[in-house]
């Protein structure tokens, strides 16, 4: 735990990016919290699909639910809410001891609603009320349609984990939504000291797409020095994006506007580094951890990344503030090489939505199959 304790001393919390009833019941989650310094958990449809479709950990509850519920989607929500509630209860000590900064568990609205503002708000309200825990985050994607829903939910006092952020512009939009919500609450004499939000910036997927474009479309057409520059951009885009986003975070959460909110009890909306598992074997398994350590940040990791970082990861203070000039140069060189980062990030949002929709639909299909077998 020493490495993760040091990470916390440097201002960064590590969260786990998966949740299952098995880890809740077999003691794994308790061990991670009490012995390994775990500070929070996120979940998504792909994780729930794997957890629910395999094994029999959910069977007793499913058998009970089908006595009165026919709709598979409602059965799924009941299963997911139970896991979130139990995990929230297990992390309540972290939540209390951190003054409500850590100890959160996230539950996602249906990915089918990523482009639906009103429906997103309706489902966010329902899920937050059903979980009924102060340390619950509702996950809403930072799409164009999601931003107004994010602001409204925060204004209503619902803690929000904003997902699918790939661009600096999108990050700035959700940070502004958070500030707007805080100001609206203050103007109506509503408390803001318990309201929390994180902005989840997805990393490895940026490198996957940019590297693909560089290798397949750009580098083969270049020669000599230009080709060397483009080759040096491989694997650089995601970390550069995170460093620039963190610079904007520090700028946004400072100055007169923020100090007024801070004096009223507001906490910063922390950047959360997501999609931190390495998807390219040529890169280190700790690639999206070591250079992104900084104050008021979260890194949510899968189990294999957690173990790799514990085993051989380097830990140094404020690495995210280093090489900022290089990060801006990466973006400039990408532009000169013909990579359109606006197009890249737009494509990543659409792909990200679909990457959540597909396992969500598979999850419901697997659950329906299990329900039908139980009814026979």
Q: CA-to-CA distance for 82 and 316, rounded, in angstroms?
A: 38
What digits encode the pLDDT tens for the residues 267-289? Answer: 999 999 999 998 888 889 999 99
Q: Output the 3-class SS for 169-196.
A: HHHHHHHHHHHHHHHHHHHCCCCCCCCC
- What is the distance, to the nearest Å, from the Cα of residue 252 to the centroid of all Cα atoms in its chain? 20
Please say whether the beta carbons of 110 and 123 come within 8 A.
yes
Q: Please report the pLDDT score of residue 78 as a whole number.
A: 95
* Per-residue model confidence (pLDDT) at position 2: 80
Model pLDDT, residue 323 = 95
Class of domain 2-205+268-317+353-375: alpha beta
Per the listing, tokens 């580094």 go with 273
Long-range CB contact pairs, 310-315, < 8 A, 24+: 310/3, 310/4, 312/286, 313/3, 313/286, 313/289, 314/286, 314/290, 315/3, 315/6, 315/7, 315/10, 315/290
139 has catalytic annotation: yes
Average confidence (pLDDT) over 219-247: 89
* pLDDT band with cut points at 50, 70 and 90 for residue 1: low
Beta pairing, strands 197-202 & 160-165: parallel
CA–CA distance, 148 with 150 (Å, rounded to integer):
5
Query: What is the per-residue pLDDT across 294-308, written as a single tens digit (0 to 9) for each?
Result: 999 999 999 999 999
The CB density around residue 44, as the number of other CB atoms within 10 Å, is: 21
Catalytic residue among 67, 139, 190, 247: 139
Is 60 exceeded by the pLDDT of residue 232? yes
Q: Which of 40-54, 99-113, 131-145 is the least confident region?
A: 40-54
- DSSP category for residue 214: I
Instruction: Note the pLDDT tens digit of each residue in 307-366.
Output: 999 999 999 999 999 999 999 999 999 999 999 999 999 999 999 999 999 999 999 998
């Amino acid at each position: 735990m020493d490495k993760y304790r040091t990470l916390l001393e440097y201002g960064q919390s590590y969260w786990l990016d998966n949740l299952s009833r098995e880890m809740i019941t077999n003691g794994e989650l308790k061990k991670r919290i009490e012995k390994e310094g775990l500070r929070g958990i996120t979940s998504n449809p792909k994780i729930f699909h794997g957890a629910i479709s395999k094994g029999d950990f959910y069977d007793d509850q499913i058998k009970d639910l089908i006595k009165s519920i026919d709709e598979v989607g409602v059965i799924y929500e009941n299963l997911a809410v139970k896991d979130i509630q139990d995990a929230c209860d297990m992390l309540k000590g972290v939540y209390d001891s951190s003054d409500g900064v850590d100890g959160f568990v996230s539950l996602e609205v249906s990915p089918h609603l990523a482009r639906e503002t009103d429906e997103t708000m309706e489902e966010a309200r329902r899920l937050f009320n059903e979980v009924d825990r102060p340390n619950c985050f509702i996950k809403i994607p930072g799409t164009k349609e999601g931003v107004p829903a994010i602001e409204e939910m925060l204004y209503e006092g619902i803690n929000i984990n904003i997902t699918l952020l790939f661009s600096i512009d999108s990050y700035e939009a959700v940070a502004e939504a958070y500030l707007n919500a805080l100001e609206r609450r203050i103007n109506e004499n509503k408390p803001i000291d318990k309201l929390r939000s994180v902005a989840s910036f997805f990393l490895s997927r940026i490198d996957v797409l940019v590297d693909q474009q560089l290798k397949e479309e750009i580098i083969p057409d270049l020669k000599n020095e230009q080709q060397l520059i483009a080759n040096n951009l491989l694997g650089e885009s995601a970390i550069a994006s995170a460093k620039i986003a963190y610079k904007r975070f520090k700028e946004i959460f400072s100055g007169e506007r923020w100090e007024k909110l801070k004096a009223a009890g507001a906490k910063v909306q922390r950047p959360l580094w997501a999609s931190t598992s390495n998807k390219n074997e040529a890169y280190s398994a700790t690639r999206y951890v070591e250079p992104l350590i900084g104050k008021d940040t979260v890194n949510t990791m899968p189990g294999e990344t957690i173990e790799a970082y514990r085993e051989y990861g380097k830990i140094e203070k404020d690495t995210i503030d280093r090489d900022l000039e290089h990060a801006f140069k990466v973006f400039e060189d990408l532009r000169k090489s013909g990579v359109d980062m606006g197009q890249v990030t737009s494509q990543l949002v659409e792909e990200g939505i679909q990457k959540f929709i597909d396992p969500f639909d598979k999850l419901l299909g697997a659950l329906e199959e299990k329900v039908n077998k139980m009814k026979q």
